[in-house]
Structure 1
Amino acid sequence: MKIAYFDCFSGISGDMTVSALLDAGLKIETLEKELKKLSLSGYRLEVNKVIKKGISATQFKVEIKEEGVERRFKDILDIFEKSKLDEEIKEEAKKIFLNIAQAESKIHQKDRDKIHFHEVGGLDCIIDITSTVIGINKLGIKEVYSSALPLGKGFVECAHGVIPVPAPATLELLKDIPTYSGEIESEMVTPTGAAIVSTLAKGFGGRPLMRIEKTGYGAGEREFPIPNLLRVSIGEKILKDEKLKDGYVSDDAILVETNIDDMNPEYYDYIMDRLFSQGALDVFLTPIQMKKNRPAHMLSIIVYEQNLKEILEVLFSESTTLGVRIREIKRLKLAQRSFIAETRYGKIKVKVGIVKGIIKNVAPEYEDCKKMAKQHQVPLKEVYEEVKKVAYNKLKPV
């Protein structure tokens, strides 16, 4: 599973988050194409390379041509509802704004639908939040983790006047999240940054066990005694019980099985999608014969123990089964690396299995290969061979 770790040693803001994701591999062309689906105008994106205390970073800015619109929560929801963004991106962005609305509602003692967003309702913040969600989605990140957050100190000017750092909305959004003041006299976590990290992050603290594949540095505008950067590391999550055995990755999982002979076979496609969405590692069907010679299927699911409850809920609510068999299993796997192969047909996702630095298997993404085979009118196997060649050349030992 691909995860991202936000190392917020200089805090976090909306523009810093987008900057870090761009630095980690998000293409600006992809971002611009997706943002057009919002049907908003009056802004221009600017992306530059900068140096902060000797560290190269990306700086993302949204230049507003003319603003002055005060939006309510409902207005922002309408923007997303009318957009052509993918549902997953749309819903995640709406969650972030919902959390902002609830925080502002509590602070101002007003109904959330009557709250007028000031800074966080501006066009630049809408772009920052939407761009962050687009970046997480397009980079294939499934979970986000974050360090504890340095809030800074002093005072900051906003639409309501001069207020203490951290801003009340920031504090409300970061309830139950580990924070500290730090030594810098400035606002280090903005309300937009707080909304993003409090909504997206699954956990806070030290860096999780992961195989780092990419690191991106996103630059903030202010100059601090330390590098004003958000560092984002992206890679494969390693479970605590994963270990190497003879060069292979070993872990423990649960195998859930159930025999079904009385269910409409059309249900299986939907049930399998639900199981994968709830954390199943693999789902498969085996034709079997049951009592009275009834043809049936054994539905098998491999899952980590922490997701077992959700898998059982899907099985008992969506299928006709009355019971399941559960047993612990041990798996041996190749160490895996995922990346985008730049082929003559286009960009194609690929997974590579490696043992002791030697490539043992290359698995191109079928849907990507199919799309390119159709687009270029070449045999599918040619696309597969091209991807494998690129993968071997990219990863071969020097």
Structure 2
Amino acid sequence: MLALRRKKMKIAYVDQFAGVCGNMLLGALVDAGYSREELSREIEKLGIGGVRLVFSRRTISGIAATHCDVLCQGDSPTEWIGDPSLGHHDHTHEHDHDHHHDHDHHHDHSHDHTHEHEHSHDHHHDHSHEHDHDHEHDHHDHSHDHEHDHHDHSHDHEHDHGHSQGHHHRGFAEISQIIEASGLSPKVRKKSIRIFRALAEAEGAVHGVSPDEVHFHEVGALDTIVDVVGTVCALEGLGIEELYLSPFHVGNGVLRCAHGLMPLPAPATARLIQGWPVVNRGIQGELTTPTGAAILTALGQRCNVMPSMTLSATGYGCGDREFEIPNFIRVMIGESQGNLQAAPGKAGSAGLRGREKMEKDLLYGQGIWQEDEVAVIEANIDDMSPQDFDPLFTRLFELGALEVNVMALTAKKGRPGHLLTVLAPPSLVATAMEEIFNSSTTIGIRYNVQRRAKLPRRIKVVETSFGRVAVKMVKLPSGDERIFLEYEDLLAISRSSGTSMIDLRISIMQEVLRTLSSRI
């Protein structure tokens, strides 16, 4: 087997023990070694003024952690400027909530807010959130930040907060302009805008408006900008090349917003973590906020357990609220391990179908398999022409089947027959069975849902002298990688060039290995 040494890289694993919100994540990165002074200098490059970062050390259930407050316009930790109201869609967000917040805070913020806040948060808080904010918080983010106190709140989801106070609202375009016009590095600007775009798209989808119609309350927007940009700067400053994520931890309960009571996780959060592993341990309150979810889904890769690494630093970021579990998030930083290997065989086109399998940054942890459920649908058929299976295969794949195959068997009365087996998402069982009944001669079908384990994989397109070829890269539990050339690409090149598949596979594999080895 051919093998290439994989360059070791600096990676980070985000352990979302108590969820995630912007300021908690920022606190964890500072706790892991990013300079507070450097962070403040980077934030100053935004040129937004009226914002300052306040860090403090706290002990959460015996664990020392860093707490981060983003104060706007001279606010103190107990007097925040408006909670950010957001206001409808405005919010977008922000939910951010940073969890925490404790809401409960007492603040009563009288503010009036009544907060409707749409959303506001809760996150954590438990919101009943009625925000009355009690919060303590500070926060403006409500974001709940889990602490975050943060302003964010914004959220709101609508938050209408009463507050409006006339505060100015900033849309996605304006926030993007602020970031683009800043003195931040191109990489930081690009990643920060990517996060805000994801947040605006999620809020827009939830409220039925375009991302450009989503607005952030002025204070909530400032708070969220600092959380987002600060996190990106910290990751860049720490030299993190790849970011891996534990499953998102969501809380339970409801939060009160301008639209009334809303379930947790907040609608925008649910939209952002769609397609990502999620766990629920029965904790009451908002654990994962929209801002936190937007940051991680935009920058991170799925990984059910901590990847293999030589650990060099660990940081804890905490929030204000108290839950049944310690309210902190943990970031673990180290140097990755593993090899890149080339394996014989083909990657069938069926295995490349679907959005999940075409994502380039698919859950690529350090070789830990993922588990989910799959429906296994079977039928014994002994009176159907083999030629008629092809259109049935085609139709089942079009409907979303993961695998379709036929095996020879001996049926009743010694007749030769076939065993049709279909693997499909559990949600597709009824649709698949209907198609099998309509397009085959069987009058009976068996099905069940089984657990399955699958290795993480991703697809890369490599330019070769023969043309573009898709390469499937599979991560093994050992940390090694195996690569497979896409069969359909090889077949197309073979037909157009007149080269045999055997010779072509050898030549292209050599080029692919050289190309990939030069990138690692």
- Per-residue CA deviations over 1:335-381 (Å, capped at 9, x if unaligned) read xxxxxxxxxxxxxxxxxxxxxxxxxxxxxxxxxxxxxxxxxxxxxxx
Matched, 1:174 2:325: no
The equivalent residue for 1:356 is none
Alignment of 1:243-392 (within 5 A): 252=341, 309-310=460-461, 312=463, 325-326=510-511
C-alpha displacement at 1:231, in angstroms? 0.5
1:34 is the counterpart of 2:39 = no
Which stretch of structure 1 is more off in the superposition, 203-212 or 136-145? 203-212
- One-letter identity of the residue aligned with 1:5: Y
Partner of 1:6: 14
Change in CA separation of 1:113 and 1:11 when aligned onto 2, cut-off 3 Å: same
In structure 2, list runs of 5 or more residues that go unmatched.
1-8, 74-80, 83-166, 344-456, 469-506, 515-520
Whole-angstrom CA distance in 2 between matches of 1:80 and 1:111:
21
State the Cα distance separating 1:120 from its structure 2 match: 9.6
Alignment partners' CA distance in 2, 1:30 and 1:70: 29
Of stretches 175-184 and 24-33 in structure 1, the one that deviates more from structure 2 is 175-184
Alpha-carbon distance, 1:44 to partner: 1.7
Whether 2:55 is the aligned partner of 1:47: answer yes
SS of equivalent to 1:196: helix
C-alpha offsets along residues 26-59 of structure 1, whole Å, 9 cap, x if unaligned?
0011001111110111122100000000000000
Map of 2:323 onto structure 1: 224
Other structure's SS at 1:75 match: helix
* Matched letter for residue 22 of structure 2: G
Structure 1 residues 327 and 82, CA gap change in structure 2 (3 angstroms): closer
Distance in 2, matches of 1:180 and 1:234, equals: 23
Aligned length: 264
Once the two structures are superposed, residues 3-45 of structure 1 have per-residue CA deviations (whole angstroms, 9 ceiling, x without a partner) of 1100011100000100000000000110011111101111221
More helix by share: 1
The residue that corresponds to 2:301 in the other structure is: 202
Q: Deviations over 1:104-143 (max 9, x none)?
A: 1111111211122359952111100110000010000011
Q: Which residue of 2 aligns with 1:191?
A: 290
Q: Aligned AA for 2:293?
A: A
User: C-alpha distance in 1, partners of 2:218/2:248?
Assistant: 21
1:309 CA drift (Å): 4.9
Aligned amino acid, residue 29 of structure 1: E
Name the one with the larger strand percent.
Answer: 1
Note if contact 1:219-1:229 (Cα within 8 Å) is conserved in structure 2: yes
Query: Which structure 1 segments of 5+ residues have no match?
Result: 242-250, 255-305, 318-322, 330-398
Q: Shift in Å at residue 159 of structure 1?
A: 5.4
User: Does structure 2 retain, via aligned residues, the 8 Å contact 1:215–1:234?
Assistant: yes
Distance 1:150 1:119 in 2: 29
Kept in 1: contact 2:342–2:513 (CA 8 A): yes
Q: Distance in 1 between matches of 2:459 and 2:260?
A: 50
Partner residue of 2:175 out of 76, 81, 86: 76
Partner of 2:72: 64
Letter matched to residue 131 of structure 1: G
CA gap 1:167/1:118 in 2 versus in 1, 3 angstroms: farther
Residue 169 to residue 213, structure 1, CA distance change in 2 (3 Å)? same
Say which SS state the counterpart of residue 235 (structure 1) adopts: strand
AA at the equivalent of 1:95: R
Aligned-residue sequence identity (percent) comes to: 40
Partner of residue 353, structure 1 = none
User: Relative to 1, partners in 2 of residues 1:47 and 1:179: Cα closer, same or farther, differing over 3 Å?
Assistant: same
- 1:189-224 CA-partner distances (Å, limit 9, x unpaired): 011111111111112311111111100000011112
8 A contact 1:118–1:159 mirrored in 2: no
Q: Secondary structure at the match of 1:186?
A: coil
Give the C-alpha shift of residue 158 in structure 1: 4.4
2: distance between equivalents of 1:314 and 1:168?
A: 48
- Are 1:70 and 1:121, in contact at CA under 8 Å, matched by a contact in 2? no
Is the contact between residue 6 and residue 147 of structure 1 (CA under 8 Å) also seen in structure 2?
yes
TM value normalised by structure 1: 0.61
| Pair 119,207 (structure 1): closer, same or farther in 2 beyond 3 Å | farther
CA spacing shift, 1:238–1:119, aligned 2, 3 Å? farther
Give the C-alpha shift of residue 162 in structure 1.
3.8
Q: Is 1:151–1:181's contact at 8 Å kept on the other side of the alignment?
A: yes
Deviation of the 1:157 alpha carbon: 3.8
* Pair 328,72 (structure 1): closer, same or farther in 2 beyond 3 Å: closer
TM-score normalized by structure 2?
Answer: 0.47
Residues in 1 aligned to 2:199 and 2:465: alpha-carbon distance in whole angstroms: 32
Matched, 1:113 2:121: no
d(CA) in 2 for partners of 1:180 and 1:308? Answer: 27
Partner residue in 1 for 2:187: 88
Residue of structure 2 equivalent to 1:299:
none
Structure 1 residues 57 and 105, CA gap change in structure 2 (3 angstroms): same
- CA offset digits 1:279-320 (Å, max 9, x no partner): xxxxxxxxxxxxxxxxxxxxxxxxxxx999555369979xxx
3-state SS of paired residue (2:463)? helix
Q: 1:212 aligns with which of 311, 323, 326?
A: 311
Q: Which residue of 1 aligns with 2:23?
A: 15
Give the direction of change, closer, same or farther, for the CA distance of 1:307–1:53 in structure 2 (3 Å limit): closer
**Does structure 2 conserve the Cα–Cα contact (< 8 Å) formed by 1:58 and 1:219?**
yes
Counterpart secondary structure, 1:93: helix
Q: In structure 2, what is the Cα distance between the partners aligned to 1:171 and 1:31?
A: 30
Q: Which residue does the alignment assign to 1:132?
A: 231
Classify the secondary structure of the residue corresponding to 1:9: coil
* Deviations 1:201-258, CA, capped at 9 Å, x for gaps: 112311111111100000011112221110000011112x4xxxxxxxxx7589xxxx
Letter in 2 for 1:176: G
Letter in 2 for 1:59: H
Query: Take 2:275 and 2:458, find their aligned partners in 1: how far apart are those partners?
Result: 24
Looking at structure 2, the residues matched to 200 and 53 of structure 1 have their Cα atoms a distance apart, in angstroms, of 30
